[in-house]
């Protein structure tokens, strides 16, 4: 697969990916000499010469050059032309940078974990979130695992949202210690699912929905419906070689995402053990 395949993919996926990039800081993973070569994770616009790339308010990242904005097809394809493979985004929009508009749970399989347990873990995470009154959305990571996204009205600050996500992760590990672990580090994770909540920090990023991944096979992070969960075969089930059909024939499974208006409530927090 070549750069032409990458550019063609982003051209095809334009309408799907741009809403997930627009109006929020974006970090780019570039692979100028291919995915086997050195990879560059770039948060700042200063050294990049990509047509259409937006420089965001420097106050978002004090003491650093401007953060990157990608709002147009020109910038998206310009980035792909410059060997950008992955697009990662903040959990807040530029309109309201101190108030996250989502909470992200990154479900990572520990060594030796059967994929069926990953599906079980995602289903249980969803059950807990719905139990406390939060709707959530599923996507493959395009790599090894799954991401569960909870859209939020931008009301609480970074600290509050991160604390809440930590309580969710720790609750899962406390209630089901044989399946979940809340501690990072590969030794703690063997045969278990690590529910990473650290991406809910200010300035942290997660691979955007419909981003390609700079891994062998060029997996794609693909939004799924919860009905599809049991049919998923891996985090890289879809890649740029086989995702085209899905993009052309299947409606976006996250149509309810933008309609989901919800906030964290103290009553939800009381249900959690931590
Ligand atoms: P998998 O399913 O394989 O775990 P993933 O997308 O969940 O895939 P990684 O690819 O390991 O996990 O993602 C690493 C995280 O760290 C991403 O959220 C990314 O935005 C962030 N990241 C990656 N490289 C850097 C970097 N150099 N500096 C800061 N953050 C980074
Ligand atoms: Mn992960």
Placement of tokens 């990571």 in the chain: 141
Say how far apart CA 101 and CA 274 lie, in whole Å.
Answer: 23
Using most ligand atoms within 8 A of CB, pick from 29, 108, 197 the residue to mutate for ligand 1.
108
Quick one: what percent of the chain has pLDDT higher than 70?
A: 99
Residue nearest to atom 27 of ligand 1 (CA): 41
Q: Residue 239: beta bridge partners?
A: 219
The CA 109 to ligand 1 mean position distance, Å, reads: 14
- State both tokens at 171: 């609750």
Say how far apart CA 112 and CA 91 lie, in whole Å.
Answer: 31
**Could you identify the atom of ligand 1 that is nearest to the CA of residue 88?**
20
186 pLDDT more than 90 = no
Q: Taking a C-beta distance cutoff of 8 angstroms, is the pair 166, 131 a contact? A: no
176 pLDDT more than 80 = yes
- State both tokens at 149: 């996204």
Mean of the per-residue pLDDT values for the chain? 96
Q: What is the pLDDT of residues 36-61, one digit of tens each?
A: 999 999 999 988 999 999 999 999 99
1 pLDDT more than 90 = no
Using most ligand atoms within 8 A of CB, pick from 89, 143, 221, 222 the residue to mutate for ligand 1.
143
Nearest ligand by distance to the CA of 28: 1
Placement of tokens 């909470």 in the chain: 103
64 CB-near residues (< 8 Å, 6+ apart): 43, 44, 58
Question: Quick one: pLDDT band at residue 273, thresholds 50, 70, 90?
Answer: confident
Using most ligand atoms within 8 A of CB, pick from 21, 27, 196 the residue to mutate for ligand 1.
27
Q: What's residue 182's pLDDT?
A: 85
Nearest ligand by distance to the CA of 140: 1
- State both tokens at 110: 């520990």
Average pLDDT over residues 165-178: 96
pTM above 0.75, yes or no: yes
183 pLDDT more than 90 = no
Question: Quick one: pLDDT band at residue 274, thresholds 50, 70, 90?
Answer: low
Question: Quick one: pLDDT band at residue 188, thresholds 50, 70, 90?
Answer: confident
Neighbours of 42 (CB within 10 A): 16
Quick one: what percent of the chain has pLDDT higher than 90?
A: 92
Go through the chain and tell me how many residues it has.
274
Q: What is the pLDDT of residues 73-117, one digit of tens each?
A: 999 999 999 999 999 999 999 999 999 999 999 999 999 999 999
Q: What's residue 184's pLDDT?
A: 81
């Amino acid at each position: 697969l070549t750069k032409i395949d990458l550019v063609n993919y982003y051209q095809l996926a334009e309408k799907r990916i741009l809403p997930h990039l627009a109006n929020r800081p974006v970090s780019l993973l570039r692979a100028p000499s291919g995915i086997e070569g050195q990879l560059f994770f770039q948060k700042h616009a200063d050294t990049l010469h990509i047509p259409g790339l937006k420089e965001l308010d420097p106050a978002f990242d004090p003491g650093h050059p401007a953060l990157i904005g990608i709002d147009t097809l020109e910038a998206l394809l310009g980035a792909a032309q410059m060997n950008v493979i992955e697009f990662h985004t903040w959990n807040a929009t530029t309109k309201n940078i101190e108030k996250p508009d989502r909470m992200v749970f990154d479900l990572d399989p520990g060594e030796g974990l059967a994929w069926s347990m990953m599906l079980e873990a995602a289903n249980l995470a969803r059950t807990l979130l719905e139990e406390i009154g939060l709707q959530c959305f599923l996507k493959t990571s395009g790599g090894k695992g799954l991401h569960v996204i909870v859209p939020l009205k931008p009301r609480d600050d970074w600290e509050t949202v991160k604390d809440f996500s930590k309580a969710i992760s720790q609750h899962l590990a406390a209630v089901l210690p044989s399946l979940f672990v809340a501690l990072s580090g590969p030794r703690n994770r063997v045969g278990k699912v690590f529910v990473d909540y650290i991406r809910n920090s200010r300035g942290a990023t997660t691979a955007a929905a419909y981003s390609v991944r700079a891994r062998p096979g060029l997996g794609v992070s693909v939004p799924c419906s919860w009905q599809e969960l049991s049919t998923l075969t891996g985090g890289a089930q879809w890649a740029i070689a086989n995702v085209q059909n899905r993009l052309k024939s299947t409606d976006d499974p996250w149509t309810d995402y933008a309609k989901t208006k919800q906030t964290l409530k103290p009553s939800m927090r009381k249900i959690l053990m931590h």
